[in-house]
Structure 1
Amino acid sequence: MSTVNVLRYSGLALGLLFGLKNDLSLKSAASKKEEQRAYEAKMKLVEEAKAEYAKSKEPVKSEAESGRGKEVNLEDPNVDFAAVILQAVDSMKS
């Protein structure tokens, strides 16, 4: 009967140790997965920030460059004569 009790408690102890080891490995894997998810979220934010920065640093086209076929009112006191002359020269080249 003593042998049966030794085997029973040995099996119980091995089961508890196996369960503890399994629990620790599952917690470790979940922790690593959460760290990876957090890292990917940060990298996504970095990529979005880079895209926004690149978008903000793009050269802005002036109104003279963007409106090439537009009529120019020379009577307007705010007209940019340099842009009008450059537009005329560019239109002759093309």
Structure 2
Amino acid sequence: MSTVNVFRYSALAAGVFYGAYHTYSLKSAATKAEEARVYAKKEALILEAKEKFAELKNKSQPKKAEAVTSAPASSSPAEINLDDDKLDFAKVILSAVENLEKAKN
């Protein structure tokens, strides 16, 4: 009779440990899936923001680039955007010197 009780309680203990392990593995898988979903959502938002930024940058930049990169002699200092990436400082300085020489004469 005591052998039956040993097997019964051994099976109960094994079932409890298996249940705990199985619950832990299910929770771990669910947590990883949730983290992956959140990461994918953030990644999609970042890509969308990059696309919108590129779209806005492409819309506004050609107008400034055409006006600033050439830096015509008639351009005033107020029209020059020093934050422009495509700004040619040599052309701006040369046009400023030419404007000063014209004003001097």
TM normalised by structure 1 equals 0.68
Partners in 2 of 1:29 and 1:64 — Cα distance? 56
User: What root-mean-square deviation, in Å, do the aligned CA atoms of Structure 1 and Structure 2 show?
Assistant: 2.1
Partner of 2:61: 60
Which residue number corresponds to residue 35 of structure 1? Answer: 34
Distance in 1, matches of 2:42 and 2:11, equals 46
Partner of 1:89: helix, strand, or coil? coil
Structure 1 portions without partners, runs of 5+: 69-85
| 1:88 and 2:66 are equivalent in the alignment | no
- Normalising by structure 2, report the TM-score: 0.62
Query: How big is the shift at 1:51?
Result: 1.0
Unaligned runs of 5+ in 2: 76-91, 98-105
Which has the larger helix fraction? Answer: 2
Question: Does the C-alpha gap of structure 1 residues 89 and 21 become closer, same or farther in structure 2, counting only changes over 3 Å?
Answer: same
Deviation for aligned residue 1:67: 6.7
Q: Aligned residue pairs: how many?
A: 76
Q: Which letter maps to 1:54?
A: F
Q: Distance in 1 between matches of 2:47 and 2:34?
A: 20
Q: Supply the distance in 2 between the matched residues of 1:64 and 1:5 (Cα, whole angstroms).
A: 92
Equivalent residue, structure 1, for 2:50: 51
**% identity of equivalent residues:** 11
